Structure 1
Amino acid sequence: MDDLALAPEAHFEAASEREQRSPDRLFTLKEGDVFLVCDASGDIHGVADGLFHNDTRLLSRLILRLDGSPPALLSSAVGRDNVIFTANATNRPLTPIGAVTTPEGVVHLERKRLVWDGRLYERIRCVNYGDAPATLPLDFSFDADFKDMFEVRGQTRAQRGRRGAPTVLPNGVKFQYEGLDGARRECVIAFSEKPAHLDAHHASVRLELAPRAPKDLYLEVGPEEGPPPAARRFRRASLVAKAAMRRRLRRGGRVQTCGRLFNAWLDKSRADLALLTTDLPTGPYPYAGIPWFSTTFGRDAIITAWQLLWLDPSLAKGVLAYLAHTQAEEHSSFRDAAPGKILHEARRGEMAAQGEVPFGRYYGGVDTTCLFVALAAAYAERTGDRPFLDQIWPALLAATEWMDSFATSDPLGLIRYERGAKTGLLNQGWKDSHDSIFHADGRTPEGPIALVEVQGYAYAAYCGMARLAATRFDRDRAEAWRRRAEQIRQAVEARFWMPELSYYGIALDGENALCEVKASNAGHLLFVGLPSPDRAQAVMRTLLGGGFANGWGLRTLASDQPRYNPMSYHNGSVWPHDTALCAIGFRRYGGADAVPRLLSALFEAAVHFDMRLPELFCGFPRHAGEPPVAYPVACLPQAWAAASVFGILQACLGLHVDGWRHELHVRSPRLPWGISELRLENLPVGERRLDLVFCEADGRVMVLPGRNEEQGVPLITHT
């Protein structure tokens, strides 16, 4: 059978229900490679929502109605640990049965759901608070479209696989799809009670509710048939899912402050990171974000892990292990691969398997390889974990050899990109939208392109490899890598600096003409420590000025630049991780007082986003009484956005762990605005765990030992 169109009634919705919904009004659950996106009522409409597994949308529609009408929503939330979604609703007036009418607001309906072991579990609890019995008709409409994630994002396909006719089971429906890749995909929805009416896209269940006597209906959605949904299965899934989340949340150190709202932001950020982190055979790995990027991304994971490195080194270890395992070994123009390159992203959907998109294993990120090496060096300095570094040393050498190839192929020795095939990414830095790199007159530059921040990452990578080689007593390599780092530093200072603007340009084009554009990319040079001190101060002044600082963070592009658009993806929006990396750079160059200011801006933005910073938000200037403006299709949660509070908090505290010497250094600490005490608990330093208290007294921040008196870790403070 050819791919079938959905039943017309499955497409019918009121216009208001099909309107695009802002990500801060959607709710997400994730476990492993399965995630759910639904609206505040718990419904799935098949827009950008659904139940997804391995880049395929299984459940594309699940809508609940009470007697044909939407229940009146009372509240919605995902629990503090991100495990269970709850929606509370009540009835509108029910159709009378005989002479009895159940009035509005008498029946309470609670939807609880979670994702565990590849399945969606839901309990619908109904309570009649009236004095008379009530008949509650629950009507469900559902469908499974098996769309690839790239189709959901809007890409059209010339051909799709074969969708079989749904199979109506005694208590549910099974949907089937055979992809062009030969894989057979199934989705089964099942109910704990046999529906009064059941067809391929609808089910009706009538519940008889005695006064004040709860009655539960369970449903499950999974890739195969299972035992009938029941209370014990829901309870067991809830218990094991919560236990697994607790284990993830216990990794690394913990931060608590005297500020209740600030703590809520810290807790939500940590819970989001735990939600997004999947335990792979190589170790924990943070998937980039939901819904569009719930898979392994190299760049995102590296920067996420780097921001968490001081608190939880195990995340960086898992990221490095996976990326070493998936390192490219051959040339492929289609996948933008070359020996030694580090993965940009990996997809497991039908379109990737068929080669309709190159992202099955795609290496078109020019910065990821440099960042991989730089993170490995930072991990070494944080932990002193020599056995693991020995394990990934061949991958580090291969990555460095790929970087070395530019020393001979490029006249300036700079790291450049140019996509190998038209199906690949046009721009291959972190600002990878098609219009993010341009000349001052608005022209799109011809490649190969050398991005300014990528040279900074390469500089950090070579400096790091030189230090690692020194620990291995390899003086020749250490010296060679130091020379290469210096070569890149001099090239950046000579070719990217704009004297008339006292700022670095965003890129060099294929003719080595500078794109004289003021973008936040230059702030990443401060993060890695490349600029001279006087130029770093000039960059800081520009970034903290009104062109970049909009009151909620730092814009990606100054407001006086061509292509500036505060509603764009990369040309004037605010990305929390970008702001955090710039703030870390400020601390490196003596701008410690600016760090709490930027942390406060992000915190106040998070308050307006229910304590969860999105991937990005619009760059409009801040006005009193007005919230930050949401970007309509931002991922929420997003890993490096969630990690940004911890990266910038480390910069506030001036904290550095010397893993080789098992020492903790604190330099001129600052506290977030409005916070007079901060507790750091269970911080791993070597084989020990350290507790510290940062407290403000007489205008100074003091650092005191925590509850463990004999901690055995030297604490070295610098003024």
Structure 2
Amino acid sequence: MNQAEKNLVNEQESASKYAILTATTYADDRVKVLNRTDTFGIFDRWGDVLPLPDGIHGLYHRDTRYIHHLQLQLNDTRPLLLSSTVREENESLSVDLTNQELHDEAGYRIPKGSIHIRRSQFIRNGIFYEKLEFMNYHHQVCSLVCILSFSGDFRDIFEVRGLKRQARGKLLAPFSPEPHQLILGYEGLDKIRRYAIIDFKKNVPQLQLHEPVAAVFPLTLQPGRPHVLEYNISFREDSLQRIGTDHGKALKHLQLQLQEVRESFPEIFTSNEQFNNWINRSKTDLVSLTANTPHGKYPYAGVPWYNTAFGRDGLITAYETLWLLPELSRDVLFFLAAHQADAFDKATEAEPGKILHEMRHGEMVNLHEVPFQHYYGTIDATPLFVMLAGAYYERTADLAAVQKLWPHIQRAMEWIVQYGDRDGDGFLEYFSQNQHGLSNQGWKDSFDAIMHADGKLAQAPIALCEVQGYAYAAFQSAARLAHLMQQPHLAETWENKATQLKKQFNERFWDDAMQAYVLALDADKKPCRVMSSNAGQVLFTGIADPEKAAVLAKRLLQPDMFSGWGIRTLSSKEVRYNPMSYHNGSVWPHDVALIAKGLARYGHQQQMLALLTGLFDASLFIELQRLPELFCGFERRKGEGPTAYPVACSPQAWSVAAVFLLVQAMLHIEIHAPAKRLYFHKPVLPEYLNNVRIRHLPLTKQQVCSFTVYRYQANDAVGIQFMEKPEDWEVIIVQ
């Protein structure tokens, strides 16, 4: 074996065992997803959950797949599919089915298409609900049997992702404590019993307790008369308490909750109906991912693989929506402050002041088979936390919140200075302290995401270019807040560090030949001269020198970086480029949105519009106009949509929130609440948007404004008309 082959083997052996295996692909399944924070379901178009090999169909709760088989049959045959859709508000999956040709016990023929079956499914408060409505359109009575089959494998989400375990707990025998109730159970190696409690309403079935467990309903359907079956499944740990209510009441409560949230969200309405659909779908997706916690609301990262709290994802999602929903940023900050590390722990990579990377539940984290119960292996969440705190105050003038957060901000800054900068060179670096943790700890955390131009992987400690931008923004934010908290010496210290970091960064990371910032510095401080989207993210933090930003703006739109849909994570000219990889050539909507915001910051609005248009066009080809976590980086082909990445999360919080940051970049609107000023700096509208109306945009807790931005057809100039605005607020428009 030569050295090159040895290097390849070493790389493969060092690959993160937490990668999502492509064997679990569902890109070709046309699945339907229902999610409500800790609970989600992945169904086929029939509304079934099928036990496919390496499949991800299932009903999941708190990182465990409780149900991996749920199927409807009529007389042992599968109904024919008519249509299937997730409703506009994401509240339910509606499926229309009909019968194949059937025969009853007496041999009477039931013609194909005689029976209509409507399935209505939704999730609320950790419970799955289903209502089945049967209507007989035949002219005679139809007698048939409805069979609902259930199985639960109770697999941890990491098992579903492909991680192999040496041992598992034991499945419990199904039992029926009451005639209308069926219970599936599992006793984990963590000594926790997990139960799926199936409660049947309206009709009591005949239960078959062998695998798969079945509930059998003999039906006699009169012509033109509806027949209804209802059941729900509760997901419980160490408890058999019944907590479900009937389908109608639960759905009504869910719809009321959604209405309250919808009314609290400012209205964005444009002249383009497809653009409106993109905004509205993104809004409902974000709501479905947002959990209620003791510290306020928190956006979970994404379904199915990351349906939990992630520090980086929550912070960036909050940043993307800060101008519209500042209270979400406040809650994200308080949640992460409550989980800030206060001691050293190599197993979880915790250090005093560090901000959380990931929280997990389930059997495998309880047994420490994976280190993610409370895991801190991230280099960027801590500076992003401080950056968001400063941006939140600028947006809201919420002094009370800053006062509560101030001790946590100080501790975060201490971590940045003492532990983030490992060698005292002024840059933030990372390396994994735990052999079972993440080897790369920026947002591109694949094992092979950080490399040199020859393809050789960079060795840690690694200083990523975009992370230096986050640190710069954190120093600036902390300095402003220190002035607010009447600590001028601290403010001066951090202002000086910001100035020095910007100077040093532009000297060490800029590469004239590349016309871009290098990806990173490795352990030997050698630059990784690789063209990547990380360089684009540098722009939105403001650390780039203006003349370098102008050069970079042009470089990012070159064909090797811009696929036509968005900015590739890695240039197509690089050795490790692979458009089908997770981080080495794919396109991530949140990444594109951050770059677009950075381009607007430096006044490069035409390049920003190219990115906005690319993602908007991509959304038109994607089901529900729901931008996934990522898609492949192949060059845009005429008449075709972007190529799906096989295991991308969808919905994914920072992807669905990308549209809101893009709208902000397009209007280039900034809200400075302490000064009571509203800025529009060179706003632009693309040719497919004649106007954009924003209604009830909060300025303070008591004050809102409403306005319309419109484009003059003659010269593409932009005008702004206010419908309402507080008298004591100033509007500054720079054309």
Report the TM-score, using the length of structure 1 for normalisation: 0.94
**Does the 8 Å contact 1:688/1:711 carry over to 2?**
no
What is the match of residue 194 of structure 1? 204
Structure 2 matches for 1:614-653, cutoff 5 A?
614-653=628-667
Q: CA separation of 1:165/1:676 partners in 2, compared to 1, >3 Å: closer, same or farther?
A: same
Q: Does 1:583 align with 2:583?
A: no
Pair 616,634 (structure 1): closer, same or farther in 2 beyond 3 Å: same
Distance across 2 between alignment mates of 1:409 and 1:284? 34
- Alignment correspondent of 1:205: 217
Counterpart AA for 2:303: I
Q: Is the 8 A contact 1:412 1:491 kept in 2?
A: no
> Cα distance 1:277–1:19, how it changes in 2: closer, same or farther (>3 A)?
closer
Change beyond 3 A, Cα 1:227–1:396: closer
Show the counterpart of 1:145.
153
Question: Quick one: which amino acid aligns to residue 106 of structure 2?
Answer: G
One-letter code of the match for 1:54? Answer: R
Does residue 182 of structure 2 align to residue 177 of structure 1? Answer: no
- 2:104·2:143 contact (CA, 8 Å) conserved in 1? no
Question: Quick check: 1:124–1:216 contact (8 Å CA) kept in 2?
Answer: yes
- For 1:242, give the aligned amino acid: Q
Match of 2:489 among 476, 483, 489: 476
Candidates 729, 732, 735, aligned match of 1:713: 729
Hey, what's the Cα distance between the residues in 2 that align with 1:75 and 1:640?
Answer: 30
Gaps of 5+ in 2: 1-22
What residue number does 1:663 align with?
A: 677
Measured in 2, the distance between the counterparts of 1:117 and 1:99 equals 45
Aligned-pair distance for 1:411? 4.3
Instruction: Verify the 8 A CA contact 2:43 2:58 in the aligned structure 1.
Output: yes
Cα RMSD, aligned residues only: 1.8
Deviations 1:278-303 (A, max 9, x none): 11111111000011111000000100
For 1:153-189, what per-residue CA distance to the aligned partner results, in whole angstroms no more than 9, with x for missing partners?
A: 1111122223221113423421122222222211112
One-letter code aligned to 1:348: H
Equivalence for 1:14 = none
- Residue ranges of structure 1 left out of the alignment (5+ in a row): 1-17
Question: Given that residues 117 and 134 in structure 2 are in contact (C-alpha distance below 8 angstroms), is that contact kept between their aligned partners in structure 1?
Answer: yes
- The alignment's TM-score, normalised by the length of structure 2, stands at 0.92
- Match runs of 1:176-575 below 5 Å: 176-192=185-201, 193-200=203-210, 201-223=213-235, 233-406=246-419, 409-575=422-588
SS at match of 1:250: helix
Cα distance in 1, alignment partners of residues 636 and 520 from structure 2? 29
2:717 is the counterpart of 1:703: no
Q: 1:661 to 1:19 in 2, by over 3 A?
A: closer
- Report the more deviating stretch, 70-79 or 279-288: 70-79
Identity of paired residues, percent? 40
The code of the aligned residue for 1:120 comes to F
Q: Matches of 2:38 and 2:630 in 1, distance apart?
A: 23
- Closer, same or farther: CA 122–369 of 1 in aligned 2, 3 Å: same
**How far off is 1:361 after superposition?**
0.2
Deviates more, 1:75-84 or 1:388-397: 75-84
Cα offset, 1:36, TM superposition: 1.5
1:605 to 618, 629, 635: 618
State the SS of the aligned residue for 1:122: strand
Counterpart-to-counterpart distance in 2, 1:163 and 1:37: 22
Do 1:557 and 1:564's aligned partners in 2 also have CA atoms closer than 8 Å? yes
How many Å separate the matches in 2 of 1:34 and 1:480? 46
CA contact (8 A) 2:569 2:588 kept: yes
Say yes or no: does 1:134 pair with 2:142.
yes
Secondary structure of 1:166's partner?
strand
AA aligned to 1:53 is H
| Distance change in 2, residues 1:347/1:407 (3 Å) | closer
Is the 8 Å Cα contact of residues 78 and 84 (structure 1) preserved in structure 2? yes
Tell me which residue corresponds to 2:17: none
Q: Equivalent residue for 2:126?
A: 118
Q: Specify the alignment match of 1:13 in structure 2.
A: none
The alignment covers a number of residue pairs equal to: 699
Question: Matched residue of 2:350: which SS?
Answer: coil
Amino acid at match of 2:545: S
From 23, 26, 34, the equivalent of 2:31 is: 26
Note the C-alpha offset of 1:20. Answer: 4.4
Q: Which residue of structure 2 aligns with residue 3 of structure 1?
A: none
Distance 2:609 2:223 in 1: 55
Q: CA deviation at 1:591?
A: 0.5
CA distance in 1, matches of 2:281, 2:243: 34
Letter in 2 for 1:714: E
Deviation at 1:695? 1.1
The alpha carbon displacement at 1:711 in A equals 5.8
Structure-1 residue corresponding to 2:83? 75
Aligned mate of 2:109, from 101, 104, 108: 101
Q: Is the 8 A contact 1:191 1:228 kept in 2?
A: no
2:345 is paired with a residue whose SS is coil
